[in-house]
Amino acid sequence: MAEAKRILVTGASGFVGRHLCSVLRRRGDVVREALRAAPGNEPASPDRVVIGDLGPETDWSAAVQNVSAVVHLAARVHVMDDRAADPLEAFRRVNVRGTETLARAAARAGATRFVFVSSVKVNGEATSDRPYSESDTPAPVDAYGQSKWEAEQRLARVAAETGMPVTILRPPLVYGPEVKANFLQLLRAIDRGIPLPLASIHNRRSLIHVGNFVDAIHAALTHPAAANRTYLVSDGDDVSTPELVRRIAEALGRSPRLLPCPPALLRALGVLAGRSDQVARLTDSLELNIDRIRSELGWRPPFSMRDGLAETARWYRAQRL
């Protein structure tokens, strides 16, 4: 039986973090959670470390002590109404310099693997003639994507200088039980029978179920071939927006209410409403080629999209009761 590893997980209280910590513990690993603030009404634990705000001055010494690996999920994420005076600098402080500070602390502590959760936004926002691959020239569009790309470059430098292997994962939208934001809004709209003017969209989108993503993170942590490699990950089942609506409706036991509407009109309405980004996610294509992680790590998504949506629908129903 393999010896249990002590793994530091940042962003442990987040959507992906909670799932990851649960799976790692079931597999027999010891998980140390790095949290921004102490959780209320929970007993103190040696494997729960409060580190405060992420940045270049964060003290990671207690968090990285005796850990064999780090999964860095915590980040400053994209927000609709960013009030920072300089959004790019705010992203860089947390996602670039904060990440490098953690990586160097982990290397000094003797960690033998650092897994960084980046984003497909490093590649860009939309695909046209073919899916994104790891060999594409990065072309981030927004400050968040730019900061993730810069963090990847800093980590490559840390790996070269310290010898600590780094693995980078670039996921698309992650869904599953406890999902929030746009995906949860879509679940609610479909469940309530709200007509959606999406029937005329002919795109292709990659997504990843949280169970698949956690499994890919585990492969990145444990597979020798993952050292100093970058992988795009997804369910491997790309769908159009109307097909996604149909599949969610099936999982919820509802009838999809899809209405035809020219995508150009949807985009124009999005501009008028100040929601261009949200409309683009519904109308544009964003496909990921996951051949590299399949071939190099032998990784296969353990959950089909149908199973993932069914699990998500069960959670949604339960939390409404």
Residue range 224-249, pLDDT digits in tens = 999 999 999 999 999 999 999 999 99
- For residue 110, the model assigns a pLDDT of 97
**Pairing relation of β-strands 173-175 and 69-72?**
unpaired
Question: Residues 16-71: pLDDT tens digits?
Answer: 999 999 999 999 999 999 998 877 666 557 789 999 889 999 999 999 999 999 99
Residues with a known catalytic role: 144
Burial of 44 (0-12, 13-18, 19+ CB in 10 A): exposed
The pLDDT, as a whole number, for residue 268 is 95
The pLDDT tens digits for 134-159 are 999 999 999 999 999 999 999 999 99
The superfamily CATH assigns to domain 6-170 is: NAD(P)-binding Rossmann-like Domain (3.40.50.720)
4 vs 147, which has greater pLDDT?
A: 147
- Name the pLDDT band for 2 (thresholds 50, 70, 90): low
> Is the pLDDT at 102 greater than 60, yes or no?
yes
Using H for helix, E for strand and C for coil, what is the string for 110-163?
CCCEEEEECCHHHCCCCECCCCECCCCCCCCCCHHHHHHHHHHHHHHHHHHHHC
**320 — pLDDT class (breaks 50, 70, 90):** confident
Query: 253: pLDDT confidence band, cut at 50, 70 and 90?
Result: very high
For residues 208 and 235, the answer to whether their CB atoms sit within 8 Å is: yes
pLDDT band of residue 220 (cuts 50, 70, 90) is: very high
pLDDT (0 to 100) of residue 1? 43
Q: Treating both helix axes as pointing N-terminal to C-terminal, what angle do 143-162 and 98-108 enclose, rounded to 10 degrees? A: 20
Q: Are 269 and 198 in contact (CB under 8 A)?
A: no
Higher-pLDDT residue of 72, 2:
72
Residues in the chain: 321
| Predicted model pTM | 0.94
pLDDT of res. 3 = 63
For residues 155 and 167, is the Cβ–Cβ distance under 8 A? no
Mean pLDDT, the chain, whole residue set: 94
Residue 82 has pLDDT above 70, yes or no: no
